[in-house]
Amino acid sequence: NAGVTQTPKFQVLKTGQSMTLQCAQDMNHEYMSWYRQDPGMGLRLIHYSVGAGITDQGEVPNGYNVSRSTTEDFPLRLLSAAPSQTSVYFCASNRDPNTEAFFGQGTRLTVV
Amino acid sequence: GENVEQHPSTLSVQEGDSAVIKCTYSDSASNYFPWYKQELGKRPQLIIDIRSNVGEKKDQRIAVTLNKTAKHFSLHITETQPEDSAVYFCAASRGSNYKLTFGKGTLLTVNP
């Protein structure tokens, strides 16, 4: 039982490049979400999904796209990377909203 | 939307002392209040949570209290140990709309 798996762990992008951060969970959780963590800012919700085919915006969605074609996978796409998107990104999954969120190990992204 | 304020931002205690971290929230409809611990370079992990129908919850050396009237909740750690050193995040959620809003975190240092 791997839990929540994110890839890659580290990534350096040039301004304007695009990329996809992968997230997969094997707990059959309906709820998945993406957060970014910046120093002194806590964890901020980017996008979330309440089930396959259903996604919605969080607090800081600009510059990011998501899709949820299966229960297991919830990729995050950066359309045109900017230095302001330098951050640590965490994917999480929950059985339902008022229960424990299980986080992936994080992706440290640097945009130069 | 929901706003969660967390204090203090840093807290240093001697081993064996107690530590208290306080959070306030703005949305009176919030009904789920988890606390996460994040060790350096690791993913956040749930340590305790409380729901709005409960005023206090304990788990060994950790307790959380909730005052719905004042819209604040607190984390209490007794008999602190060096391994309690980490960043602690509070969070609040309505549950129904799934959006989990985090505080900015408290860096707890337990000195041996």
Region at A63 (left for phi over 0; alpha for psi -120 to 50; beta for the rest): left
Query: How many other β-carbons are positioned within 10 Å of the β-carbon of residue A39?
Result: 9
* pLDDT score for A98: 85
Average pLDDT, chain B: 95
B39-58 residues touching A, CB cutoff 8 A: 42-46, 49, 51
Does residue A20 contact residue A88 with C-beta atoms inside 8 Å? no
Q: Which among A66, A81, A1 is positioned nearest to A33, based on CA atoms?
A: A66
Nearest to B105 among A42, A98, A103 (CB): A42
* pLDDT score for A21: 98
> Is residue B98 predicted with pLDDT exceeding 80?
no
* pLDDT score for B10: 97
Residues of A in contact with B25 (CB under 8 A): none
Nearest to A98 among B32, B42, B43 (CB): B32
Q: How confident is the model at residue A100 (pLDDT cuts 50, 70, 90)?
A: very high
Residues of B in contact with A103 (CB under 8 A): 43-45
Average pLDDT score over residue span A43-51: 94
| B82 SS3 class | helix
Average pLDDT, chain A: 95
Q: What is the DSSP letter of A83?
A: G
d(CA B66, CA A13): 43
- Name B38's Cβ contacts closer than 8 Å, sequence gap at least 6: B44, B45, B86, B87, B88, B89, B105
* pLDDT score for A1: 65
* pLDDT score for B26: 96
CB contact under 8 A, A41 and B100: no
Q: Which among A39, A70, A66 is positioned nearest to A55, based on CA atoms?
A: A66
Chain A residue with minimal CA distance to B107?
Answer: A40
Average pLDDT score over residue span B64-84: 97
A37-56 residues touching B, CB cutoff 8 A: 40-45, 48, 50
**Quick check: A15 contacting B, CB < 8 Å?**
no
Region at B106 (left for phi over 0; alpha for psi -120 to 50; beta for the rest): beta
Q: Which among A27, A25, A35 is positioned nearest to A109, based on CA atoms?
A: A35
CB contact under 8 A, B99 and A45: yes
Q: Return the percentage of chain A with pLDDT > 90, whole number.
A: 91
Q: Give the model confidence (pLDDT) of A61-93 as tens digits.
A: 999 999 999 999 999 999 999 999 999 999 999
**Quick check: A61 contacting B, CB < 8 Å?**
no
- Give CA torsion, residues B38, A105, A57, B90, to 10 deg: -10
* pLDDT score for B13: 98
Q: At B54, give phi and psi (nearest 5°).
A: -130, 140
